[in-house]
């Protein structure tokens, strides 16, 4: 089996509000585990955000990746488990009795057929990713959608009880570690629920 070289992932900077302007594009921040998917030949590996091998734990993701029609690829994404269409971290950890749909939402491509793409602007990498995923039925591997309007996306995430959004500079290369080119904004309800869990307090239910 070939050796796979884990790449330290790009990490976002937290802010209270998303950035404004045409230089930015925005995505949903899933409530799950960051993963890095590697394929080379017929072999596939699922890494955690810290480089741990999650392949056996999430075998369905690895098997779907191995079926991808490409010689080699490295994808960045988030592994989430959804209950009734809403990603829930507790479901991913197996602490919820309800059936959950697990999938990896990929949002970036770092390498394609042996070519390192990290120096390219985000939108050029994104175009390569969309071409790769176009018309492919991989089931547990899906592409994360991008949105133009940050405030509208944040409001929609707030209404659905999602974690928040991530804003990314369109022209930015991919850099390992913290970067101001990626900004994350958490939904108010999600922040309050997390604070309540830490304090051992049941959060009050609010009407949508």
Mind giving me the DSSP string for the chain?
-------PPEEEEE-SS---STTEEEEEE-SSEEEEEEEETTEEEEEETTS-B-TTTTHHHHHHHHTSSSSEEEEEEEEEEEETTEE-HHHHTT--SS--EEEEEEEEEEEETTEE-TTS-HHHHHHHHHHHHTT---SSEEEPPEES-HHHHHHHHHHHT--EEEEEETTPPP-SEEEEEEEEEE-HHHHHHHHHHHHT-PPPP---
2 within a domain of the structure (yes/no): no
- 67 and 14 housed in the same domain: no
Specify the CATH number for the domain of residue 52.
3.30.470.30
Considering the entire predicted model, what is its pTM? 0.86
- 113 and 191 housed in the same domain: no
Residue 160 has a pLDDT of: 86
Structural domain for 175, as ranges: 9-29+146-208
Among 143, 162, 183, give the residue marking a domain's end.
143
Among 143, 169, 199, give the residue marking a domain's end.
143
- 201 and 151 housed in the same domain: yes
- 45 and 131 housed in the same domain: yes
- 40 and 139 housed in the same domain: yes
- 102 and 123 housed in the same domain: yes
- 151 and 68 housed in the same domain: no
Among 143, 171, 194, give the residue marking a domain's end.
143
3 within a domain of the structure (yes/no): no
- 169 and 194 housed in the same domain: yes
- 126 and 165 housed in the same domain: no
* Per-residue pLDDT tens listing for the chain (208 residues): 568 999 999 999 999 999 999 999 999 998 889 999 999 999 999 999 999 999 998 999 999 999 998 999 999 999 987 655 555 655 566 544 445 567 899 999 999 999 999 999 999 999 999 999 987 767 889 999 999 999 999 999 998 888 899 999 999 999 999 999 999 999 987 666 666 556 665 544 434 3
């Amino acid at each position: 089996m070939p050796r796979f070289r884990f790449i330290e992932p790009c990490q976002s900077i937290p802010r209270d509000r998303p950035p404004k302007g045409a230089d930015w594009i925005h995505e949903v921040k899933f409530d799950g585990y960051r993963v890095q998917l590697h394929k080379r030949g017929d072999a596939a590996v699922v890494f955690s955000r810290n480089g741990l091998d999650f392949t056996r734990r999430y075998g369905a993701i690895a098997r779907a990746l191995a079926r991808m029609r490409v010689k080699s690829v490295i994808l960045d994404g988030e592994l989430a488990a959804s209950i009734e269409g809403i990603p829930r971290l507790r479901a991913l950890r197996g602490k919820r009795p309800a059936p959950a749909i697990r999938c990896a939402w990929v949002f970036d491509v770092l390498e394609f057929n042996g070519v390192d793409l990290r120096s390219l602007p985000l939108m050029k990498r994104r175009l390569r990713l969309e071409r790769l995923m176009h018309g492919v039925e991989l089931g547990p591997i899906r592409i994360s959608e991008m949105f133009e309007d940050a405030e509208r996306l944040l409001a929609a995430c707030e209404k659905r009880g999602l974690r928040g959004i991530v804003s990314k500079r369109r022209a930015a290369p991919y850099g390992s570690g913290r970067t101001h080119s990626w900004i994350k904004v958490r939904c108010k309800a999600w922040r309050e629920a997390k604070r309540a869990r830490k304090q051992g307090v049941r959060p009050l239910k609010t009407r949508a």
